[in-house]
Amino acid sequence: MNMVGRTSAVSTRNASLAKTATERRDDSGPAAADLQASDLLAWYDRHRRVLPWRALRGEHADPYRVWLSEIMLQQTTVATVGPYFERFLARFPTVQALAGARLGDVLAAWAGLGYYSRARNLHACAKATVEKHGGQLPRREAELARLPGIGPYTAAAIAAIAFDEKAVPVDGNVERVLARLHRIEETLPGAKPALRQIARRLAEGVVATSRFGDFAQALMDLGATICRPRQPRCMLCPWHEACLARQHGDPESFPRKSARREGKLRRGAAFVLLRRDGAVLVRDRKEAGLLGGMTEVPGSDWSADFDEGAALSFAPRLSSEPCLAWRRLEGHVRHVFTHFPLELSVFVANASDMAGPPRGCRFLPRDEIASAAIPTLMRKVLAFAGALAGDDGAKSSIRQRRRARA
């Protein structure tokens, strides 16, 4: 089969899956979808979650809050995002404030949330919104998708929730609900097009009430609180009678997922150079790539074939103190990125108060470490070396637990 024929066959199959799944309750087409949407909206009116970024019933959603929360919630849980959202909003209360901020300040406010390209894109998107849209996020899904860092899902979420546009965002929670409701056998990510079509057909039942924002959030809440990955609370679900997975007694088997391949372990070295006044030597990573623009201690490249015997060749050198006494701390700092696990050996040395940094580095005062744009990995390294402000007790404990070796 040629490529055109194969693409046509896949599209036909996805359309068939969506049509059959949505209309399986009876032959009334849109009426069945309307009933399902009404059931879900009635449930949502009683059980909607109260979230820092969500408008209360009867209030208009704030597009800035919706956009910010959707970016923060990518790959991150609601429980984790809550405190970060509040602090970030207090520091950058408007699109204009965010657009006018230094990227370093934005990254510092984001530090700890991970996936730092989101923060860089958030900053770029704020600038584009001010420059091209007068500081107002566009309401149309297609216009939103043209802004930096806003993909199809986020564009649909903002359009629906902030502006009540007819759009259906399909995230992991929504995929789980729909895959179980219709018992979709195709594995993810291959099933995504069919699931999006099912969601669009369900949304047809919202037309009479024009509650696209509520419908989108209701689907999200249903997946987060009822149709959970483990131990779903099926009897509390407004769609439990119609759910095929519940009828077959295997909801936890859906959605079907392809086997996940784990990345190969990478290794490297990190060098913590402390002055007697507590300042630590740091540098900024390149803007592009993993942890782009974030602050780190100097270190080696990360690779699967890292040679620890040559680790000291990556150590920073001071012209004023050419013979630094580097000590390797026993053990490793471990961290897991999306595509690979990482293991770092940590070396520590001390310098005088008068020591100056090498080119491309700077000494960061100890009391500024907490507010700096330092990612979680590097905070682990600093904690391991006992270099965080206020952790003298931890530093003593670390020294008791492990021996420093030359």
Q: Determine, yes or no, domain membership for 333.
A: yes
Q: Determine, yes or no, domain membership for 184.
A: yes
353, 334 contact by CB (below 8 A): no
- The pLDDT of residue 32 is above 60: no
Looking at residue 158, its pLDDT comes to 98
170 and 240 together in one domain:
yes
Q: Torsion-angle region of residue 173: left (phi > 0), alpha (psi -120 to 50) or beta?
A: alpha
213 and 238 together in one domain:
yes
- Domain C-terminal end among 195, 220, 253: 253
180 and 97 together in one domain:
yes
203 and 351 together in one domain:
no
Give the tens place of pLDDT for each residue, 205-231. 776 567 999 999 999 999 999 999 999
Q: To 5 degrees, how large is the angle CA 217–CA 43–CA 28? A: 90
Pairwise CA distance, residues 290 & 404, whole Å: 30
What is the span of the domain harbouring residue 286?
Answer: 266-405
Residue 321 CA: distances (Å) to CA of 137, 271, 317: 53, 15, 8
78 and 156 together in one domain:
yes
In the structure, what pLDDT confidence band is assigned to residue 402 with cuts at 50, 70 and 90?
A: very low
Residue (of 328, 320, 228) closest to 272 by Cα position: 328
211 and 190 together in one domain:
yes
Helix (H, G, I), strand (E, B) or coil at 158: helix
In the structure, what pLDDT confidence band is assigned to residue 75 with cuts at 50, 70 and 90?
A: confident
| Displacement of CA 239 from its chain's centroid (Å) | 29
49 and 179 together in one domain:
yes
Residue 169 CA: distances (Å) to CA of 94, 98, 151, 174: 24, 25, 11, 8
Burial 238-258 (b: 16+ CB within 10 A, else e): bbbebbbbbeeeebeebbeee
Q: What is the mean pLDDT of the chain?
A: 86
Q: Determine, yes or no, domain membership for 296.
A: yes
93 and 226 together in one domain:
yes
Helix (H, G, I), strand (E, B) or coil at 267: strand
Looking at residue 5, its pLDDT comes to 45
- Looking at the DSSP assignment, which residues form a beta bridge with residue 349? 273
Give the tens place of pLDDT for each residue, 171-215. 999 999 999 999 999 999 999 999 999 888 887 777 656 799 999
Looking at residue 388, its pLDDT comes to 82
227 and 303 together in one domain:
no
Give the tens place of pLDDT for each residue, 339-370. 899 999 999 999 998 889 999 999 999 999 98
Pairwise CA distance, residues 47 & 27, whole Å: 30
Looking at residue 182, its pLDDT comes to 92
Entry pTM: 0.75
Looking at residue 37, its pLDDT comes to 84
136 and 92 together in one domain:
yes
Query: Which residue did the predictor score with more confidence, 11 or 171?
Result: 171
CATH number, domain containing residue 322: 3.90.79.10
347, 271 contact by CB (below 8 A): yes
Residue partners of 114: CB distance under 8 A and separation at least 6: 75, 76, 375, 376
Residue (of 274, 271, 280) closest to 312 by Cα position: 271
- Domain C-terminal end among 229, 253, 277: 253
Residues designated catalytic: 70
- Domain C-terminal end among 253, 284, 307: 253
134 and 246 together in one domain:
yes
CATH number, domain containing residue 212: 1.10.340.30
- Looking at the DSSP assignment, which residues form a beta bridge with residue 336? 341
- The pLDDT of residue 154 is above 50: yes
76 and 105 together in one domain:
yes
Report the sign of the C-alpha dihedral through residues 339, 378, 361, 306, in that order.
negative
Overall number of domains in the chain: 2
